Each structure stands twice: as C-alpha cells, then as structure tokens.
Structure 1
C-alpha cells in the first residue's frame, strides 16, 4: 500500500492532490467551528469531529510549553494574543485531515510497532533508561489519559507519519529556503556598544528662573490638578448577603425531609494497581489468587510497588475494563486484567457503599442553599429600591 502511495505521489494527479491537501491543512475545510466550549464538538473536518476534550488537552499542553519559555503561565488574554487557540485548532484539524486520508488508504499500525513506540518513549524510562511500567502509569495518570487513549493516539500518529513520508518523502527543500534557514542558524554578529549613564555624561546646568517660567507656560496643561472624587462602594451580591443569614434547625430539617430522596451518595472504591509486564509475574499473581494469598503479600514477595489510583466512583473511571473489574470485587479483593504492556493486578482496598446522606452530613449544604435562596429574594428587593429612584431621576433630566 505504501509503495502504491509513493508511485501515486510522484504522478501529476498525486502532486495536484498533495497541493490540495496542503491548502486544506492550512485552514480550509474546517466547518462549524463553535466558539463556546460548552458543546462537545468544537470543530469538524470532513467526517471527523474535534471534541472539546481533545481541544482542552492540547490547549493546556501548549500553554505549558509557552510557560516554560516565558517563565510563568500566560493569562487567557495573553494566550489569545499569542494565537494559542487558533494554533491548537489548526494542529488538530491538520491531524484530522491526515487521519481521514490514512483511513481511506487502509493504513494501520501493528501491535509490535506500537510496543516498540511505547518502549522507546523516553518519558516512560526508569532510572536505568529502560521502560518502567510504574513510570508509564504515573505519566498517564498525571496527563489525564487512559492506556487505551494513549495507544490510539500513538497509532494515529504513526499512520500520519506513514502517509506524509509516502506523499512528501522525496520532496526537496528549495535552495532559497535552505539558505535562509542556514543563515538564521549560523549567522553571527559582532556588536560594539557603549553604556550611557551618569558616570560618563556631564550633568546639564541647572535651569534659570526665566527658563522654568517659559517651560511652565508652554506645558501648562501638564501641571493642572486632576479632579478626584471619593466613592463609597457597597459589595452587593446574593453570595455576600447569604453570608449574613442564619438558618434555624427546623427549616433545615424540613428542607432535608423534602429533598432527601435526591441526597444519595454514589458508591466509591479505593483502587490500586500493579503492572505485570513479565509473564512469570502474572502467573505468580494468578497462583497466589488461587492459593488465597493477599494482594499486599504478593506485592511484597515479588518486590513490586502498587500505584494508587485514588478513591473513585465507577463513573469517574475512563477505562471500562478497570471500572468493571474494580466494582465487581469485594473489599480487599483483587483481579488480574489486560493492560497496555501486559497484565495488571487491580486491588480494592476499601469500599464506601454510599447510599442515603444523613441529616448531619447534609446540614451545612442545606443551610447554605436556604441562605442563598433568601439572599436572592432580598437582593432583588434592594436592586429595585436602587434602580427605581435612578429611573425617576433620569426621566426628570
């Protein structure tokens, strides 16, 4: 398939198609761009949708790169002025267009190739420079992506690389562009300069009274007193008013009885995992599970350390296999499931079954809600008292 692509790319139709592809990637063909990130889709390229999650992840990564260059995190206004949002949308649109073309040509990546990419990634290397499963899990968790998402992204990246190399691999850089790049990188300048300060410049003579009077006359507007006014400001908002409200226990109890059907906590489980990249390790955990050996003992016996995934509801777990396995186990139980680099052992160390929230646990939230409800009513009344005289005054003038 790649040989066919290379032959096609060298033909006139292939060159024309490559030109159209470059123009498309430069910004055309991106339809239905949504400026509000409340929607799940921020842009569409052909049949491929760019989701708000993809945009926000790449946007944050780009902000981090800018922060490393300027020494601080840029504000939203600075990011817009630097063109960060449009740059992220452009990169995502470019990748989406290449992904569609790769799919049309049936390009793919084997599992062996994905394994090589995974093990050669320096971000996942341990102290000895080799692939470290624990580091791999930590990096993915901090990045907010699952193992399956990582593999899918790497597979698409490899497909795009195959496509670009097939279509443009033989393209020669123009001589003019090559010279410009070499000059930008290799040119040097020798600069002579002097520093001007009070040590090497004679102090000017003091102005005379006539010179001062003449200067003041010519610049009278610069020395006028600026009008100032003293202003008293009252912070008026429902939140400010709510802080002064006191809700009695009877009202809280009545509200609890009215809404307690909706006050239900979801079940949570404290989960940890160990990546078993070695087949012998996986077999040792399988044998230990059959023999009734505890998870902690198996971890200690095999010289491993468990990665804490946190206390989560099933809805908070993006990895469906992990969620199903964790929420089917009893407390202190563990299961062995498939992972990216082999098997992994999932252990549930604690279970909070959730259920009905008690009045004591819900009391503070209910009190805040009732106080805010009262404050909103009072806020509307005060606002009317302020706006009505202002409207009468405006009508008078």
Structure 2
C-alpha cells in the first residue's frame, strides 16, 4: 500500500465516524485491537505483521500471527492492569482469564476478516487516506493532519507507515460488516416500554437490621482452632514483595528561592498590580418594591418626612428578611440604576428616592457600608516573593533537568546529582506493588506513583532508569536499591491478625445463621413486629424502593432480594456494608403499568439499542466461527507471550 494517500486534504471521513459510533459493544471494540495495540507501551519492535510463518489462530484462510496475538494479549493485560491499578504477573493474568479473553477477541476479529475476504470487501485509497488524515492522533495544534507528527509517532512505536496503513485498512473493512449488521439499530417501542415499566416498579419494605451487637460475643479460639484457621487461610498471610526505592523529584516548587528575589523587584511588582490587592467597597442593601410609580413616590415622600423604612415594609406585609437583596460592589449591583442609587447614599441607614429597578419601581435602604481596603506591601510581600520565585523556577526546570542528566551520564550517583542541585534524595525503605508500606499504610506522597511503582517492580537492583515526567513541568529519577522477596508470614508473626480474622468469620457465620432463623419464622407467619420486639429492635420502613435504589442500608444484594418475590415476600440479605443482616418483608408492590418508552432518557434508549446491536454481532461472530471453522495453536500462543 503506498504511503502517498495520507497527503489527501483533511475531510470528514464518513467511515471513521461510523467506526467510532459503532465502537460501543465488545465486538465492535475488538475491531480496533490491532490498531490500538500498536500504540501500547509494550516495547514493540519490528513489523507488526512480521509473524513467524505459523498461525496462532486460523479462521478459514485468515490467520492470526504470533506477533498479532502477543499485541492483543498485551492490550488485554494493560487494560486489566489499569482497572486493578497494578502490573499483572503471568500467573495473575491466567487467573483472570486473560489468555481466553484474548483468544475470544482475535478469533472474532479473524472471523470478520474472513467474511470480508469472502465478500470481496475493500477500501479505496482515497477513503483510506481520509481515514488516516482524520485521526486526531496525528493532528497539529490547529486540528490538521501533520505529516511529520504522523512519521514521528509511528517511529516512536517501531511501526512502519505501510504496516499502519494496512492495519487501518483492515479495521475499516471490518467496520463495513459491523455497520451493515448493527449500525442505526433502534430498540422497538414495545421493548422500551417494558423496560421503562420494569425500571419504574417500586416496593415498600418493612425490615429490621440485625447487627453483631444483637449476638453474644465470640469466645476466644483455642490454639488448635487458630492453627487450623491459619493453615486453611495461609495465602491471606503472605508478605508481598517489597522494594527499597530512592527517588529524586524535580518540580518548579523544588527549586524556588524566594529570598533570592530582590526587594525592589517585589515592590515594583506590588505597585504594578496594586489593583489585585484592593477590595472594592460593598454595601448591604434592602429594598421596597412597588406595583406602580405613584405608590412609590407616595412612600418616598413619607420617608422624607421621617417615616420608618421598616414601618413601610410592614404596611406591605413584608418581614425584614424579605427586604434584603444582598451585599455587592457598585460594579456587581443587580442593575446600573440600583448601583448608582445605593452608592450615592452618604451613610448607613440612609434611603434613596424612587429607583427604576429591573422589575418595577423600588426604594433602597443602605443597611451597612463595608469600605474598600487595600492589602499593604508588608502583607503581600511573602506571597509575592513566592510567586515570583516560582515563575523563575519554571524557566529553570529544564536547565536543572539537563544538569542532572549530565551528572548521571558522567558517572555521578543519584544522590550526588541531587546534592549538586541542592535537591532532596528521598528513600522509601519498603513498598509493595500497590503502594503500601509493610504496616499496610498506602503511601500518598509518591510522585506519579503508578508509573514509578510499575517501573520499579520491573527493574533490577541498581539499574539506572529513565526519568518519568510529572505533568509538563516536572521529572522524577528513581532506582531500586534492594528487593525483599515475597514470603509466608509464620503464625507467631500474625497471630493477633489471625485471631481477629477468625472471630470476624465466626461472628459473620453466627449472624447469618441467626438472621436466617428469624427470616424463616417470618415466612411461617410470625410478624416482623413480634420478632423485633423480642430483639429490642425497631421495625424500619423503606418506601418506594426501586431496582437501582441502593443506599447506605439497602445495597445491591438487599435490593435484589427484595425484588425476588411478590407482596408478602420475606427474606434475609446483607446490608450495604456487608457487616449486618437485613430481615425484610415486602409490604406492597407498586407497579408502573402507566410508564411508557418516553420515560426513558435518550442515553438509556441509546444504551439499550447498543446492547441489542452487540447481541446481534455476537450471534454473527458465533455463526462465522461455525461456518469457517476455527483452529487454535495454544503452544504457539504460549511461546508468543513468553518473549
């Protein structure tokens, strides 16, 4: 495929827009696997389609090479790792089913590719060029395709232009099948009406909340019970791998030197920006509103003759709180006329004549005057020094960065580089992959903690690592000083924790058993009030509980249980915290037979239609797999991901 089409002028790419709109379900999303994976930070080298000559997956005559499978696998690993905020190991990936999810994705993609081949689907060079040009990844600051940006990004991930264009073409061709099958599909109104009625149905529930306080305390376990519990739950008491890390952080705040700013410069800045430190005069204003100007003029005459403003308000049936319109500067007044009139009053307590307000004639009273104020130079000096020093530091960050890099390149240690720049070298004595200290405390002070921890747990001890960026104006250099391997904590070390866990489990079992016993009594005809009275508890009411009505007491499990039967239905469920049990009875079912499809929001309609489209695409892929046959080489797949 020639690279020249990418020079086509920018234009609306219909196919790309359709592809984006269609990428809502899992089948549509997997169409982008190869393309998106190519831009993952997984150390890609060489051609994306360089393969080994054998296929990990074959669907008809379409194959998935080991390299393509590896990229798809890495993308699944990265996605799941982001969700769990950790770097997955191979064993964890298998436990979470990553290999099977990857096979599902690549097989579905290959099935669609084979169908496209059978249908002789293709893409013109012009359309392909417009798709590439419309990709915002390659745009400049003006939103236009940048040829140099295109080449730079592809080069940074080790991908040739020909490979990228071939990948983009494959994705676009797949999308033709997707849009033909599911694009523009709208759920029928009858189905949406049923959904609206289902969602709107509510229930009234009476319940009692059974807490551990209602039971006798759990007795102390014997040594035999402690040992047995520890042996059965050993994996809970494994100390994770810890690493000792040192790091050097460079941000503008780290190199600010307020004392280096000359007083003359600080004073000059203060004088130049004095308006910023001036608070304008504000006035607290009350108003009387009149229906017509004649009534307002009459009231103004009475006020001028000595009548009370409050008396006039009482005649209108208004309390003092009804009069207050607020405190404001002249600039922020509700209207220019009100501002001019209120600020023309000479003293607090004075009133104005009749003013044309936004909603009719009014008379104003200035209840209080808050004079303007100016913060002195002495009050502002420390803050101004800090701000000016910080501005200078922003200009110096890159120079300091280069000095640190030069020092490290010249053989200096990280500590020596820190000392030369008068920066602090921070040592974290022990931290695990999740950012916790050995005592379980999460470290909240690590810069770019996610990236730093990921890099540290992939690095060898003492190896110089590239710095990480902190936003657009900072950097952090780091290295691993020591590794403490994962180990099984002996019982003596975790004995108190084991006892607490055993007691907690025993209490949960006892609480569940007692709640189940009480719920059975309720089902057999005892009243909730009778049971509550025996326990010294109050019967609570939850009215109009809906299927999405989770709260502090009724969590998802309890809501599902309450909707598990008709009126009179009784049962037991954990509360939202999981620590207590809810013994409940449905006292009323409030149907929503009058709800219609119009009750659903546009987002809900769109989401439901999207889910139907996904189901149709799932059925299509299943049919294609059966029609063309699927062959999987799991041995080759294992080799592909072990590189």
Same-fold status (TM-score > 0.5): no
- More strand by percentage: 2
Higher relative contact order (CA 8 A, sep 6+): 2
- More helix by percentage: 1
TM value normalised by structure 1? 0.35
